Structure 1
Amino acid sequence: MTDFDVRTANLRALNSLTKYPSIPTYHALDPGNGGLTDKVVEFVGRVHLTEKVDGTNSRIVVLPDRTYLIGSREELLYAEGDLIGNPALGIVDALLDVASAMAPYGTGIVTYYFEVYGGKVTAASKHYTGSRRVGHRVFDICVIDDYATMLDWPTERVSSWRDHGGQRFLDEDELLRVAAGNGLATVPRLDVLDAAELPTDIDKTHQFLVDRLPRTTVALDGTPGRPEGIVLRSGSRSVIAKARFQDYERTLRRRSGGR
């Protein structure tokens, strides 16, 4: 049994511990103009490609006492048993039944990260649905075993720990196993390549995106629309990066003299 009690826990620290970290772009962004530079994230060995779904980053946090929280990327929106939940972006409505049925995993704090998409979630929702249907896909799972000490940390220390890779994410095989055990759909797996097969030029990477993902593979109804991009990750999840169509298109337009 655990003596964890969400009613007495430091919720500010808990929120910070379970936020999703920023993911670098495959080609680094120029902070001066927002365009891409020629520097790439370096991968070694096998690289897993998944579709990057254009939705809102959401999370289900399963606590050591087997209760749960639902949150957006920045804030917690609902705790198990609440009479009223924050309706922001429809996240709680989309994930409440999922959270209620979540199977136990380990003895620590386990956070499931989702893209909730479609509906009226983002301006890109039209690429996934014409009838305002809402979907959700798991894209990462994080486990924090030594949470007790960290819940006493000031939020600044928690943020620094998170931003410097302190969270432990499940590797590819374990992520798929745990998601399947909960009946959860993951973001689509597109391919597995050797790192040497990845393009490094900006124009060739853009063409790589076009060839690999001409349309979204997670449309909820109707004709699939424009995808956001591809996420590249090592099997261990120790290296991860995102490649978005809009970043490459904007950069190539600027280099060709367009706006």
Structure 2
Amino acid sequence: MPSFDIRTADLRAVNSLTKYPSIPTYHALDSRDGGLGEEVVPFTGAVTLTEKVDGTNSRIILTPDGEYLIGSREELLYARGDLIGNPALGIVDALRELAERLRAEAADADRVTVFYLEVYGGRVTAASKHYTASRQVGHRLFDVAELDRWADLLALPAQRIAAWRDGGGQRWLDEAVLVDRAARHGLATVPRLATVDATELPRDLHKTYAFLADLLPQTRVALDGPAGRSEGLVLRTADRSVIAKARFQDYERTRRRRTGSR
């Protein structure tokens, strides 16, 4: 296998290869008005429910040459040893120490490993007030991808890399391995709320909203002060082949538009 060198690698390709894919809403979202329809993402078997934390999607990319990159959802912000990093949303400051530790503990010369974390609190989003009263910043792991064929993938044209990613090409750790990996590295994950059979999931809009409210009357990841509102749920099959999100705001917006209330 060719050797990887972060100084000569096509970082635009690395960025595209390691972006987190978009997650559909559990009830289909109408792009015209932001309302939810009746159709739901179909699940079968066991479904793990985790809290969706309202922060910013971030990633730590461990490269085969023992280096690392830190990125937001859309762009790379910092490489190990940089004198100046992009300060966007405080992601680099929040994750640099963790990245150094993961580099020592989890780097693999045979693959690219990507840890996906939600950075929240501080001044990250308008919802930060629900997690902290003193501008503390936290992070929670929600997924890990391992890319074994990185050399072949990085040689592809940009459009094919994007199509591979959006078509489900990334290999994700399944639920049991993810939880074990997080424990091994002392990483807090997004809260596991329940595992239910897919037949137990509500399909009606009103019942789904009630289901959210019952599971998450408030966030479970408050950093200090009283716990505020949660953003919602993420639903996953154990192997992560099916994934969807259910956000309070989507159901509330739909209800307002259907009833004409504000």
TM-score (norm 2): 0.97
1:88 and 1:68 mapped to 2: Cα distance? Answer: 18
Shift of 1:210: 0.3
The percent identity for this pair of structures is 66
What residue in structure 2 maps to residue 101 of structure 1? 101
Report how many aligned residue pairs link the two structures.
259
SS in 2 for 1:220: coil
What residue in structure 1 maps to residue 56 of structure 2? 56
Q: How big is each residue's C-alpha offset from its partner over 1:173-201, in whole Å with a ceiling of 9 and x where there is no partner?
A: 11111111111100000001011110000
Say if 1:161 and 1:2 are closer, same or farther in 2 by CA, change over 3 A: closer
What residue in structure 1 maps to residue 24 of structure 2? 24
**Ranges of 4+ aligned residues in structure 1 off by more than 3 Å:** none
What residue in structure 1 maps to residue 223 of structure 2? 220
1:194-205 pair list within 5 angstroms = 194-205=197-208
Query: Residue 59 of structure 1 contacts residue 111 of structure 1 at CA under 8 Å; is this kept in 2?
Result: yes
Runs (5+) with no aligned partner, structure 2: none
Query: Residue 140 of structure 1 contacts residue 175 of structure 1 at CA under 8 Å; is this kept in 2?
Result: yes
Shift of 1:95: 0.3
What residue in structure 1 maps to residue 180 of structure 2? 177
Correspondence 1:71 to 2:74: no
Query: Residue 29 of structure 1 contacts residue 37 of structure 1 at CA under 8 Å; is this kept in 2?
Result: yes
Query: Residue 49 of structure 1 contacts residue 192 of structure 1 at CA under 8 Å; is this kept in 2?
Result: yes
What residue in structure 2 maps to residue 45 of structure 1? 45
Say if 1:239 and 1:105 are closer, same or farther in 2 by CA, change over 3 A: farther
2:95 and 2:46 mapped to 1: Cα distance? Answer: 32
Residue 112 of structure 1: which of 106, 115, 118 is its match? 115
Correspondence 1:161 to 2:125: no
2:208 and 2:115 mapped to 1: Cα distance? Answer: 30
SS in 1 for 2:106: coil
TM-score (norm 1): 0.98
Amino acid at match of 1:224: A
1:141 and 1:56 mapped to 2: Cα distance? Answer: 16
Query: Residue 63 of structure 2 contacts residue 107 of structure 2 at CA under 8 Å; is this kept in 1?
Result: no
1:206-217 pair list within 5 angstroms = 206-217=209-220
Runs (5+) with no aligned partner, structure 1: none
1:57 and 1:230 mapped to 2: Cα distance? Answer: 15
Shift of 1:33: 1.2
Residue 142 of structure 2: which of 104, 114, 139 is its match? 139
Q: How big is each residue's C-alpha offset from its partner over 1:56-91, in whole Å with a ceiling of 9 and x where there is no partner?
A: 000000011111000000110110111111111100
What residue in structure 1 maps to residue 5 of structure 2? 5
SS in 2 for 1:13: helix
Correspondence 1:244 to 2:247: yes
1:233 and 1:150 mapped to 2: Cα distance? Answer: 26
RMSD after superposition: 1.1
Shift of 1:104: 2.1
1:70 and 1:85 mapped to 2: Cα distance? Answer: 9
